[in-house]
Amino acid sequence: MTPLPGLGTQQEFTTESGRRIGVITYRDGRMELIVSDARDPDKICAATDLTGEETSTLANLLGAPQLVRQLSEQQREVTGVTTWQLPLAPDSPFDGRPLGETEMRTRTSVSIVAVIRDGSVLPSPRPDFVFAGGDLVVVVGTAEGLRAAGEIMEHG
């Protein structure tokens, strides 16, 4: 993080191609996405202001696939453990109910590691997390446990 006196802060990274991509967070809360010129990394060739909602959407567009990819890579390292994504239908018995009521880990030895809602990743949900129809529930466990988890999410 680089302080920008009187303005805010800038965070950035350099891509393999040599471009700098960064975010300037202004003191008033505004955020600006910047991309440097391919030939001159000190020259900004593109910049756009982002609203809070747009910032969240971009973070989730980049974060959700990364989370799922990381889980998939980690599961390959552990024999017998798999990651599934279970859709929670609007008519599921758990629509509008807290995660703890599923008793998922007790009943199946499966762990709910994240929920994806409206493109936003909600990692490590607590037992009081309330499900909503349309959620995508990311679970980790054995194949047998995951099948049982799917049944629970669908039928209770």
Instruction: Assess whether 15 and 39 both reside in one domain.
Output: yes
Domain count for the chain = 2
Calculated CA dihedral for residues 38, 53, 116, 1, nearest 10 degrees:
50
Tens digits of residue pLDDT in 132-154 = 999 989 998 888 999 999 999 99
pTM: 0.55
Instruction: Assess whether 90 and 147 both reside in one domain.
Output: yes
Q: Which two tokens stand for residue 146?
A: 């995951």
Range of the domain at 26: 2-75
Mean confidence (pLDDT) of the chain: 85
pLDDT band at 109 (very low <50, low <70, confident <90, very high): very high
Instruction: Assess whether 69 and 87 both reside in one domain.
Output: no
**Of residues 141 and 63, more confidently modeled:** 141
